[in-house]
Amino acid sequence: MRAWAELLRVSALFTVPGDALAGAAALGVRPNRSTALAVGASLCLYEAGMALNDWADREEDAIDRPHRPIPSGRVSPTAALAAAGALTVAGLALAARAGRPSLAVGTALAATVWSYDLHLKHTAAGPAAMGAARALDLLLGATATAGGVGGAAGPKSAGTGGRSLTAGAGAGAVRAAGPWAGLRTALPSATLLGAHTVAVTTVSRREAQGGSTAAPLAALVATGVLGALAGRSAAGGVPRGGVRDALRRATGAGRPTGPASAGQQAGPALAGALALVYAGTAGRPLLHAALNPSPPLTQRAVGGGIRAMIPLQAALAARGGAAGVALGVMGLVPLARTFARKVSPT
């Protein structure tokens, strides 16, 4: 079990659920059953990528990291490859249950993961491929959530006034916006998350050897820019023309009232604070690695970048008015830290 936990890097799993939840928040609706399916699909595809990564790198790891599960003989290459295949199939099956748009995005995500691990990782396109994978993961949550809202129509849900956004009153508006509306609305959030992933992946390419000052310095600058954008985007709320506006037009609702209004009012301030947490979580180890690009400090910078995805996801959720979801995502931070002490996320 210890070997498989290391192979699958289970401590990094806590950075995954926030992708789908941030995607749901970008639509301005509450997470639903389809969002949960997207989370499950994301977890499976993420772990498939971890297993496939070590299988593809088994010869390289035998030289640079002989303690890894495959080169040390604790997990066989055949078992790792089989696990990658099984997890990919499971992830796509869950995505399919959330609807055809989700399956299409999930298929693109799976193809990106396999392409990265088997070929793109050692090319100049590697960081961009990883960034695309994270962005697609967030878009998977958005398309699944939109499909869940669109499929929630029922005669008993009339007259909600738009307060229960997963009820039938909003379902017609989501259908009117189209099955791919989630992609368009969530694209800004996906771009920010993908850009962060590109920066972290660029640093990770030298984590075993160290010696690169330029990569962590560039990532440090990128972290500052992304943190500022996340905070500023929070003040602007969800872009106009998205699913949120379609819901309001269809239901005749003006400004939302009740709990939803409170969450939207708290969202901008909370997102700004979470953007600062993100910048600090990623920035400090990156600064250390830039000043002393040794392998241990570079690995810490990569680990910090991975952990920083959680407050970034929370900030993205908060800017959509989902303050409760954002705080729930931040609740994964102590779990990630606890597991990181036992199993390295890199």
Amino acid 147: pLDDT: 84
Count of C-beta atoms within a 10 Å radius of residue 142? 34
Amino acid 161: pLDDT: 32
Name the residue range of residue 130's domain. 2-342
Amino acid 264: pLDDT: 55
- Tell me the H-state helices in 31-99: 33-56, 58-64, 77-97
- 120 DSSP assignment: G
Amino acid 207: pLDDT: 78
Query: Which structure tokens are listed for 267?
Result: 């969202």
- Residuewise pLDDT in 10s, the chain (346 residues): 899 999 999 988 999 999 999 999 888 888 999 999 999 999 999 999 999 999 999 999 898 889 999 999 999 999 999 999 999 999 999 999 999 999 999 999 999 999 999 999 989 999 999 999 999 999 999 999 988 875 543 333 333 333 333 333 334 455 556 557 668 889 999 999 999 999 999 999 877 677 779 999 999 999 999 999 887 754 343 333 444 444 344 333 334 434 444 555 566 789 899 999 999 999 999 999 999 999 899 989 998 999 999 999 999 999 888 899 999 999 999 998 888 888 877 6
Torsional sign, CA 9, 10, 11, 17: positive
Structurally, how many domains does the chain consist of?
Answer: 1
- By CB neighbour count within 10 A (0-12 exposed, 13-18 middle, 19+ buried), where does 210 fall? middle
162's torsion region: left (phi>0), alpha (psi -120 to 50) or beta? left
- Tell me the H-state helices in the chain: 2-8, 17-26, 33-56, 58-64, 77-97, 100-118, 126-150, 168-177, 181-204, 214-236, 243-251, 259-291, 295-307, 309-319, 323-330, 332-342
242 SS3 class: coil
Give me the DSSP letters along 264-293: HHHHHHHHHHHHHHHHHHHHHHHHHHHHS-
Distance CA 305, CA 284 (A): 10
Query: Which structure tokens are listed for 218?
Result: 């560039």
Answer yes or no: are the C-beta atoms of 223 and 199 closer than 8 Å.
yes
- 154 DSSP assignment: -
Name the residue among 198, 200, 207 with its Cα closest to residue 297: 207
Residue burial 240-272, b: 16+ Cβ < 10 Å; e: rest: eebbbbbbbebbebeebeeebeebbebbbebbb
Answer yes or no: are the C-beta atoms of 243 and 29 closer than 8 Å.
yes
Amino acid 265: pLDDT: 57
Distance CA 205, CA 38 (A): 29
Answer yes or no: are the C-beta atoms of 344 and 6 closer than 8 Å.
yes
CATH code (residue 192): 1.10.357.140
Return the CA Rg of the chain.
20
Amino acid 267: pLDDT: 67
Amino acid 150: pLDDT: 57
